[in-house]
Structure 1
């Protein structure tokens, strides 16, 4: 589902009541564990955490007016989603997450390339998400991103 929001607070206020608590908690966990160099705002009509132009002036290669995306969280029609570009770009991080996930969640991992889907909001592994967020600095993310872009 797409929400037209100007801020994370505005986004959350538009969610159904049963989704607001889980998105608020996810946001709080991410902000608590987010390394320096990242900022929060709206990105792709979702709550986003990104490397701002003040740190990485080149921006996102697909649209250089946008800052470099890193993590997004969203309430979709049938699930809450966490999009983590670092897992898509760094195999070791993905391997760590997929190994740790069963230790924190009784349900099978539902994941795309960078998207982790949670159909049962009461089973979101907040502690694991916090650990995941803390594992990559903004400097490392920019370095990985630039190496991937230069290959193209």
Structure 2
């Protein structure tokens, strides 16, 4: 599968990690807006937000490590695995963004909030899968960071 990221170019990896981290931050803002607007939404919203925040922090660490390796002219096998994980993380975050935009698309009037809650409950299975995928990407990147630092 072509990721659009050159695995040998640390600058591309760094830029991609920062771009995915920025997307994660945007999603956290969207989640905060949804929580403010509709308190009847399930607690999974908080868990998803925490997972995305953790991913954002890991992505920032990945960008810093790759940048440091470039500065010291260090190249390793670890960097060849990062682009695919970045692509997977971006893909999952975009899918989550799509799901959240559908939930946000429902209005804020009392009757519409009912439909928003119903729509949200119907999306719980998809949300659980996305949350698991985001957690897996985050964990894999964490492992690669550990290997890179040793």
Using the size of structure 1 for normalisation, the TM-score is 0.29
Using the size of structure 2 for normalisation, the TM-score is 0.30
Using CA pairs under 8 Å that are at least 6 residues apart, name the structure with larger relative contact order, 1 or 2: 2
Structure having the larger proportion of residues in strand: 1
Structure having the larger proportion of residues in helix: 2
